[in-house]
A and B are shown apart, each in its own frame.
Chain A
């Protein structure tokens, strides 16, 4: 008797699993950056257009394929066409790469989370130097939050060539992160479905708390005004549109096979069209919500730094001219400066070069994304809030939930094809397969805990998934529409769910979305080729800031391998299947 396929406890678990997978760290640390770079409020226009034209159709495609084929990505694409099993394999390879490097972010999140239970927060003060007369030199040149990130957390080396040793603190946190992932995926969709309730809902709770806290911070309105003031001229910038398309694409997690895996555990009659719209709208709404929170925090931080800068100038002037303490304030600063310049011109010209030009605009202009935003900028803002331990704990708890939710989807993408395959699942129970996967990923992930680990992380982050995913989703769309047949697929969907396939989806799948992906793909290819040598940002401890360096040859080779190993799966498997079929045809005895 065939064992029934595992299923979600109820359709809500499926929706929550998709939401917790799609709503991840990218919503919190990439979208606000893009919003700031490409015109604030006006970025929402290309973003929403791309959502409707690209995001929703492709999401629906993946969910429909998974629900119809009721298998993981490899089996599903092999069913669509035996030559296209490679698409599934490519998805699994990309998911594997993602799983290796994504969990290190959770490990860093754990490290910061554990360190938040101290007073004072370890990143708010610089450590003392050897003879205790001042602060550590690197910390003085940079800031205490940067020092904690680059020195205490990463212990970063000056370049990617110097690998250094495995740092035991992040390594321990990585082991914990993988153990937690194992705990959540242990039993398949049973446990994943229940964990999804927490990983999908609790981050919203934290975001709401942060929204209230953020909006009541001093200077928050500066950040919000700055961000939401639309700069309409950015609409003409093609990069804004390209980045909007890219953001929608990667934010929904298309092409990894996770969505197919999740949908394969659905009831065949599930209304996945409704779920598509719900998940994509919630994902985008979360991005916008998170950026409101981020910008109120930005505003607070920028105002704090601006006032700090002003106070430094005031102190310098007060000390140089022996003015009465408390006489100089921010409001009369300019007047007094003028007065001093005219009354003591020689002394003023000595002091003048040391006076910093304090500008709120330039503070707000510092746009940061990625780990820099999460671990440096946010922590800097948090350390200046009251009861900073509480805010820090809440914030990193939210980051961990978001990261874990995405990891669950990721590992589901790898595990579902493995457990579907008869070969493997007959020899090993589900728990053993998951355990092996977590163990292997953890072992490889220790690479990222070395001193140069952060540089390798950046390589994986920038190159492991970008081009490959575009290609995978393009082949997926073409496969469903032209190889399998759009009419046939539409008829099957209608038979399965009881609802006819809307013409809108048909048009999008057949023409618009593939065209968009091709143009994105061409743009990225051109960008990589035109930019010449690939460069990265390295931390220079002597200067206390980031410097740009070129990747060495072997790093470029690794990048090439990363991209090739997933994209080559598609043609290689197709070729392999073709060869096998020819061999079988050749060896079969002709019937007389």
Chain B
């Protein structure tokens, strides 16, 4: 009698968890891809941990706080490693609806991943899309900052060059206009006094004819 009951229970349980059963999800792990040499072997203890994590996720859903590890059923474990799982209700006759399981897993995906040292790509729940992490969005895009720095440097350098060019040109103009002024003054003097004033001979803009300088004058330091 007892073994008949036991048989019935296992049959029912087996029927609840089957590939492509209602409310069943396939899980695929790629442990060697993720961890390489540090890969661990997938055995029944790891399966127990997995069931514990799923039960933990379900307990966080309102109205499902009484989910136990025994309510999570695993089946069809392959070498890949892949398997199917379902979560049953406390009566162990029906499986919990897929969308509840899906939302529970999605909420706790990160913790499940971390327990197994895997990530969204190496621990796949088929038919449960993962929420991708958005890229870091700084308030000011970085490129604008660098653009601003370089633009300011270029503007400053350009302004400096233009200003120095203007200053150089003004100095040249002033130099040539000084020569013009003094020459004008000289002409005026000549028209008034009809003689050349001595101090006007020593101006900078004038030309001194070296031929008429004596040896002493040439060697006298100024």
Q: Chain A interface (Cβ within 8 Å of chain B)? A: 110-111, 114-115, 117-118, 120, 125, 127-128, 132-135, 172-173, 176, 179-180, 182-183, 186-187, 191, 318-319, 322-326, 429-431
Contact = CB atoms under 8 A, between A and B. Distances in A.
Given A132-B134, A133-B131, A182-B158, A323 B80 contact: yes
A431 B166 CA distance: 9
A176 B154 contact: yes
Contact of B135 (A115, A117, A127, A318): A127
Contacts of B162: 186, 431
B132 A180 contact: no
B63 interface: no
B169 A176 contact: no
Interface residues of B, number: 33
22 contacts: A111-B143, A114-B146, A117-B142, A125-B135, A127-B135, A128-B134, A128-B135, A133-B130, A133-B132, A135-B132, A172-B147, A176-B150, A176-B154, A186-B165, A187-B161, A319-B28, A323-B80, A325-B29, A325-B80, A326-B39, A429-B165, A431-B162
Contacts of B91: none
Contacts of A318: 80
Contacts of A128: 132, 134-135
Contact of B158 (A111, A117, A186, A325): A186
Nearest to B150: A176
A132 B131 CA distance: 6
Contacts of A191: 161
B147 A114 contact: yes
B119 to A, nearest CB: 15
Contact of B154 (A111, A134, A180, A325): A180
B66 interface: no
Interface stretch (B4-12, B30-38, B95-103): B30-38
B108 interface: no
Given A323-B80, A324-B79, A325-B31, A179 B151 contact: yes
A180 B147 CA distance: 12
A432 B55 CA distance: 77
A187 B143 contact: no
Interface string B139-183: 000111011001100110110011001000100000000000000
Given A183-B161, A430-B165, 14 more contacts: A114-B142, A114-B146, A114-B147, A115-B142, A118-B143, A120-B135, A127-B135, A132-B131, A133-B130, A182-B158, A186-B161, A322-B78, A325-B33, A431-B165
Interface of B: 28-33, 39, 78-82, 129-132, 134-135, 142-144, 146-147, 150-151, 154-155, 157-158, 161-162, 165, 169
A320 to B, nearest CB: 10
Contacts of B29: 325
A172 B33 CA distance: 45
Given A128-B132, A133-B129, A322 B154 contact: no
B145 to A, nearest CB: 9
A429 to B, nearest CB: 7
A397 to B, nearest CB: 12
A226 B29 CA distance: 39
Nearest to B138: A118
A326 B80 contact: no
A135 to B, nearest CB: 8
A179 B154 CA distance: 7
A117 B143 contact: yes
B143 A183 contact: no
Given A127-B135, A324-B80, A325-B80, A183 B30 contact: no
B35 to A, nearest CB: 10
Contact of A326 (B33, B129, B130): B33
A323 B33 CA distance: 13
Contacts of A182: 158
A323 B31 CA distance: 13
Nearest to B122: A325
B67 to A, nearest CB: 26
A118 B145 CA distance: 12
Nearest to A169: B143
B153 to A, nearest CB: 10
A554 to B, nearest CB: 35
A179 B155 contact: yes
Report the 10 A-B pairs with minimum CB-CB distance, sorted nearest first: A326-B32, A114-B143, A322-B78, A322-B80, A324-B79, A133-B129, A325-B32, A114-B146, A183-B158, A325-B30
A165 B34 CA distance: 46
A180 B153 CA distance: 10
Contacts of A115: 142-143
B72 to A, nearest CB: 21
Contacts of B32: 325-326
A179 B158 contact: yes
B168 to A, nearest CB: 10
A478 B150 CA distance: 47
Nearest to B80: A322
A25 to B, nearest CB: 20
A512 to B, nearest CB: 45
A179 B28 CA distance: 57
Looking at A128, A183, A187, which has the most chain B CB atoms within 10 Å of its CB? A183
Contacts of B28: 319
A480 to B, nearest CB: 36
A323 B162 CA distance: 73
A182 B29 CA distance: 60
Contacts of B143: 111, 114-115, 117-118
A37 B174 CA distance: 64
B142 A176 contact: no
A117 B131 contact: no
Nearest to B121: A315
A127 B165 CA distance: 49
A319 B82 CA distance: 9
Contacts of B129: 133-134
Contacts of A135: 132
A110 B131 CA distance: 34
Contacts of A323: 79-80
Nearest to A133: B129
Contact of B80 (A120, A125, A319, A429): A319
Contacts of B142: 114-115, 117-118
A120 B135 CA distance: 9
